[in-house]
Amino acid sequence: MGGLEKRTVMVLIHIHLKANQKDMDKRISINQFVEFGKKKSKKSKLTLIKNQKFPKNFLSFWYKTAFACIRRCLLENGSLVPIYRGIELLKIRAADTETKQRNNTVSIEALERFLNINLPKFLSTDKVEKFKVEQKWVEIDGVKLFLSPELIFKVKRSNGDSVIGAFKIHICKQENKFFDFQMAEMVATQLHNYLVKTIDEKETVDPKLCFSIDVFGKRIVSASTDTNRYDEEIHLISKEISELWDIA
């Protein structure tokens, strides 16, 4: 297929998607959600929504090894062995394109940054076990907010009680996309609220064990103990996303 034919196909696909966009779920990931809340201009907000509506498939390729190594580290009670193994693996991994080379380089940087993050103390005292939750989202004012934590876990306390927690990881090298404390706390707090809404009510979700990790920002923040702290802001952002969705 020649260049002109490819462009024609892409245009037709875009027209088809635009024609059916009213039937699309209004859906956005939590990291993009809090970023939307910090944007000032309508143009930048529309661009973010457009990227959520028509995501580029190759984006899922980025930093997969880094995410997997960090997840393994957390699941193994903070063992740094998976991080060092990941760095060594990425150093010898073949990269036959500039994109793959950049992915390897930034992934190594991410893992090296992660080594400087002080992990929660409970990881050194409580056994972490994976906890499965099928639903990855909650609906707020007509918008499906996807939390999709990298790890949901259960820990058993010394008194025999079990509690649920989770980690959401953010990897982005652009400084203007680092999370400030409020953004990270909002992510972690929504992570807590999502778990409360989606798991069996017999389980206990501890806000102190729900974390947002911004790897390049070298920040780890747990949920607010006031789990309703960001409700008003969350609803305002959701309503604005809903209003702008069809014109993006």
How many residues in total does the chain contain? 248
- pLDDT at position 56 is 73
Could you give the 3-state DSSP secondary structure of residue 172? coil
Does the pLDDT of residue 233 top 70, yes or no?
yes
Q: Indicate the angle between helix axes 42-53 and 231-245, nearest 10 degrees.
A: 80
Residue 225: what pLDDT? Answer: 95
**Structure confidence at residue 61 (pLDDT):** 72
Q: Is it the case that residue 174 has pLDDT exceeding 80?
A: yes
Please report the beta strands in the chain, taking only residues with DSSP state E, as ranges in sequence order.
27-29, 128-130, 137-140, 143-146, 151-156, 162-170, 205-214, 219-222
Q: Which residues pair with 205 in a beta bridge?
A: 164
Q: Which range among 58-62, 81-85, 153-157 has the greatest average pLDDT?
A: 81-85
Q: Which residues pair with 130 in a beta bridge?
A: 153
Q: What is the longest distance spanned by two Cα atoms in the chain?
A: 68
In angstroms, the CA 32 to CA 248 distance is 15
The pLDDT, as a whole number, for residue 18 is: 53
- Residue range 15-53, pLDDT digits in tens: 555 545 555 789 999 999 999 999 999 999 999 999 999
The whole-number pLDDT of residue 2 equals 58
CA distance 224 to 210: 9
Supply 224's token pair.
């607010």
**Per-residue pLDDT, 188:** 98
Tokens of 117: 């993050």
Mean of pLDDT values over 117-130 = 94
pLDDT recorded at residue 73: 98
Residue 4 corresponds to which tokens in the numbers above? 């002109």
Reported as a single tens digit per residue, the pLDDT across 182-226 is: 999 999 999 999 999 999 999 999 999 999 999 999 999 999 999
Among all chains, which residue has been given the structure tokens 């998976």?
82
Question: Contact, 100 vs 64, CB < 8 A?
Answer: no
Task: Name the pTM for this structure.
Answer: 0.88
53 φ/ψ angles, rounded to the nearest 5 degrees:
-75, -40
Residue type, 237: I
Burial of 187 (0-12, 13-18, 19+ CB in 10 A): buried
